[in-house]
Structures are given as C-alpha cells and as structure tokens.
Amino acid sequence: DVVYGYLKLGQYNSNNNKSFESFNFGPLKENEINVEVLTQMFITNWNSNTKILINDSDSLPESNLLRLDSSKAYQMLDWQPIMNIEQTIMETASWYKRYYTEKNVKNFTLEQIKKYLKLWYYKVHIIFLLQTQLANKITRKVWKSLMSL
C-alpha cells in the first residue's frame, strides 16, 4: 500500500510545478492497532514462539497509539490502503521470513506484487461497479421524476 502511495505521489509531484509536497501513508482508522498487538500479530504470522517483554517503567514515556494523518493523501492523491491490517502484517512477515531464511526473495517479491495488483484491480472495479449502480439508481429516479411532470 505504501509503495502504491509513493507511486501516486511521484506522479502528483511530476505534474506539480511547485516544490515537492510530503504526504503520510498510513492505515485506515479501523485498522489502527498499538505496537503490542502489531508485534504479536507479526510473531504469529512468523510462526514463532517468541514472547513479548513489556517494560512498564515510567522512565520510558511512550504514547499508547501513534497515528499517521493520511487525510492529505486520501484527498489530494485519491489514495487509500487496499489491504487490511491483517493482510499487511501477514505479507510483511512472510517477506521478512523468506528473506532471513532464503536470502533470494526476488521471485517471492514479484509474486507478492502480483497479488497486490490483483487486490487493487478488484477493489477499483468493485468501487466502479458500485458507483455505476448508484448512478443508475439516481438516473432512474430522476428520469421517473421528469416523466411524471
């Protein structure tokens, strides 16, 4: 998702005569999780028995949740993440596990890119179909209203 965001940003900046702008690319609000949950999900997807040790010391002040504001990317680039948090963590953990066990991840990476592009393609077409259906319903209502005049 982030790479797709940066591709859209590159396209936006190449068409922009002003200086480059910066954007955040983060999860949708419903996919926000804290670091402990993210770490546990990563470990689970890695199929590891690793245990999380949490230091609750007050000497290490930390926010409970760090949040990226991606609204600028949503509005100006028409970008939003395609994968949910579970898919994102699973694919990331799979890539790192493959990298650390096999080192050569080129083919695996290409397969992940193909899988992502399929998700993107289906999501874009589903949105288009839903918008088309909604437009057709509105058009039929307007047409009926006009015919009843």
Q: What gap in Å lies between CA 77 and CA 92, rounded to an integer?
A: 24
* Residue of higher predicted confidence among 119 and 126: 119
**pLDDT score at 139:** 65
Tokens linked to 149: 């005049």
Q: What is the pLDDT of residues 105-115, one digit of tens each?
A: 999 999 998 89
* Band of pLDDT at residue 11, cut at 50, 70 and 90: confident
> What band does 91 get if pLDDT is binned at 50, 70 and 90?
very high
Q: Which two tokens stand for residue 99?
A: 């990298």
Task: Give the three-state DSSP class for 80.
Answer: coil
DSSP code, position 148 = T
Q: Is the pLDDT of residue 142 over 70?
A: no
- 81 close to 94: Cβ distance less than 8 angstroms: no
Q: CA–CA separation, 80 vs 24, rounded Å? A: 11
Decide: helix, strand or coil at residue 75.
helix
Residue 98 vs residues 65, 94, 106, 112: alpha-carbon distances, Å: 29, 6, 10, 12
